[in-house]
A and B are shown apart, each in its own frame.
Chain A
Amino acid sequence: MKLVTAIVKPFKLDDVKNALELIGIAGLTVSEVQGFGRQRGHTEVYRGAEYQVDFVPKVRIEVVVSELDAARVVDAVVESASTGQIGDGKVWVTTIDEIVRVRTGERGADAL
């Protein structure tokens, strides 16, 4: 099984969610995160005092899928989250050893 993790622009969350639903993904987890990449931060000005805000708000989406689905999920995220501008984010795939559905105790693919 694979864990697909995507960091995307917050305003793209709905598009990504819709795209993943379209390809039949049964569930995902979303969190608000902040950090920096090539986009770096932005400046804010309060009564003329300028602040460099290094961290930019992003959304992290996590999906656990079977190995076969991982590539399709990655493609769907990239396609739906892309604006072509700097700061569009990243997607990566990691292997996970075990997954358990808490309610039933099912393991592996049955737990997805």
Chain B
Amino acid sequence: MDTGDTAWVLASAALVLLMTPGLALFYGGMVRAKSVLNMMMMSFGALALISVLWVLYGYSMAFGDDVGGGLLGDPFEFFGLKGLMGTEGIDNGFAATSLVFTIPSMAFVAFQAVFAIITVALISGAIADRARFGPWMVFSGVWATVVYFPVAHWVFAFDGAESETGGWIANNLLAVDFAGGTAVHINAGAAGLALALVLGKRRGFGRDPMRPHNLTLVMLGAGLLWFGWFGFNAGSALSANGQAAEVFVTTMVATGAAALGWLLTEKIRDGHATSLGAASGVVAGLVAITPSCSAVTPVGAIVVGAVAGVVCALAVGLKYKLGYDDSLDVVGVHLVGGLWGTLSVGLLASASATAGVEGLFYGGGLGQLGKQAVGALAVLAYSFVLTYVIGLVIQKTMGFRISEEDEVAGIDSVVHAETAYDFASLGGSGGATLVGQAHAEARNTEGATRA
């Protein structure tokens, strides 16, 4: 066990966890004021639920011994994380007995848990303003179980890391996906598209203005995502070493280039460089460099990022042309950005980077590009089909969508019995009166403040 590696991975796990609240801000600022709480609650709901499922059986499904074909880990091998606890005692510095490479298995459990959480949370951007919270939670649990945990096994479970045998993309196909361009972004993007199709368009989509209600939240969220993403990518080295440092730099520079690419596209097309464009460009760049961060040089990363910024800025307009209401552009940013990033390995990978593969433009031929495409399309198709089925079943049984009347009134007050902002401009209570409290003995309105 290496203490430096362990410290870096544990810190990275905390960084990645912060990305989900960051995503809640990023998404929350983009919706209208009447649905910001629901938007953020979908992220926090994923945080709560997936962390529990991960410990119970998710980790085992992803990183247990392969049950066949590289498709799924044994759900019972590490059920409840059994067998992963244990140290060599105080005299040996509590060195872990169960290791993944040089770090304790438990550190890897923590690091991979936050990946599962944010992947689920990412999907919520496609169904803003209109999904009931209970069915969303059911969807989250089922989707993580049926889609994410297996796909994480395909992509992240290397033979011999936690278990003897791992997933097919990592070990058989040998596509490079360093931190989850396929497992996280293509996966969430394809799921977002399927769910947006199942739930249908928001009332007034393409006709009524649906302006972001708070772009400062969006900017703060994008900043937190960028910050946390260093844990996501550089932490995926699972070691505090030169690879982590190189990945850190490619992550940084690709993101900057993508923001520039998005802003330039806007300036040329619309006449203005917008703050939403800057925030979106940042995320598009981060998405694209996620699979390729270990495979490209820093200059290659600039190309990966710049192309992502331009392509994603153009792709977000597709929903109006094709008529699907991917409300916050999970498809345009995560699916398109994830596809580009994953394929970019096949084009721009340099043997001088730590992944050690060569892309088409570096004399590597079409071989790696083909592997990247197979990995990307497999995850895309699997995620889209299963998500569509899960969403449809929930829609037909529980009802996924809120009523039109509630949608107009605002999902926050109807579903959560809260409003995000107290806009009372008059002194006092703004017309609200306390009529009850959680504790029965205090259920006495005498003490309530009245306007």
Q: Mark A residues whose CB is within 8 Å of B.
A: 44-51, 53
A46–B317 touching, CB < 8 Å: no
B320–A46 touching, CB < 8 Å: no
Q: Which residue in B211, B212, B313 is a CB contact (below 8 Å) of A48?
A: B313
| Chain B residue nearest in CB terms to A49 | B320
A44–B211 touching, CB < 8 Å: yes
A46–B329 touching, CB < 8 Å: no
Interface contacts beyond A46-B212, A47-B276, A51-B211: sample of 15 additional A-B pairs, CB < 8 Å, sorted by A: A44-B211, A45-B271, A45-B272, A46-B274, A47-B277, A47-B280, A47-B313, A47-B316, A47-B329, A48-B266, A48-B269, A48-B270, A48-B317, A50-B270, A51-B209
Q: Mark B residues whose CB is within 8 Å of A.
A: 209, 211-212, 266, 269-272, 274, 276-277, 280, 313, 316-317, 320, 329, 332
| Chain A residue nearest in CB terms to B206 | A49
Report how far A49 CA is from B320 CA in the complex, Å: 9
Kindly list chain B residues whose C-beta atoms are within 8 Å of the C-beta of A48: 266, 269-270, 313, 316-317
Cβ-closest 5 pairs across A and B: A45-B270, A51-B209, A47-B316, A48-B317, A46-B276
Report how far A45 CA is from B215 CA in the complex, Å: 13
Kindly list chain B residues whose C-beta atoms are within 8 Å of the C-beta of A47: 276-277, 280, 313, 316-317, 329, 332
Kindly list chain A residues whose C-beta atoms are within 8 Å of the C-beta of B211: 44, 46, 51
Kindly list chain A residues whose C-beta atoms are within 8 Å of the C-beta of B274: 45-46
Kindly list chain B residues whose C-beta atoms are within 8 Å of the C-beta of A49: 317, 320
Quote the shortest CB–CB distance from A36 to chain B (angstroms).
15
Quote the shortest CB–CB distance from B242 to chain A (angstroms).
38
Report how far A45 CA is from B313 CA in the complex, Å: 13
Quote the shortest CB–CB distance from A45 to chain B (angstroms).
4
Report how far A50 CA is from B209 CA in the complex, Å: 9
* Most central of A45, A47, A51, A53 by chain B CB within 10 Å: A47
Kindly list chain A residues whose C-beta atoms are within 8 Å of the C-beta of B212: 46
Report how far A50 CA is from B272 CA in the complex, Å: 11
Report how far A44 CA is from B210 CA in the complex, Å: 11
Quote the shortest CB–CB distance from A60 to chain B (angstroms).
15
Report how far A49 CA is from B266 CA in the complex, Å: 11
Report how far A50 CA is from B276 CA in the complex, Å: 13
Report how far A73 CA is from B280 CA in the complex, Å: 50
| Chain A residue nearest in CB terms to B269 | A48
Report how far A45 CA is from B271 CA in the complex, Å: 9
Report how far A20 CA is from B277 CA in the complex, Å: 43
Of the A-B pairs whose beta carbons lie under 8 Å apart in the complex, a sample of 6, sorted by A's number, is A45-B270, A45-B274, A46-B212, A47-B277, A48-B269, A49-B317
| Chain B residue nearest in CB terms to A50 | B270
| Chain A residue nearest in CB terms to B271 | A45
Quote the shortest CB–CB distance from B264 to chain A (angstroms).
13
Kindly list chain B residues whose C-beta atoms are within 8 Å of the C-beta of A53: 209
Kindly list chain B residues whose C-beta atoms are within 8 Å of the C-beta of A44: 211
Report how far A50 CA is from B212 CA in the complex, Å: 12
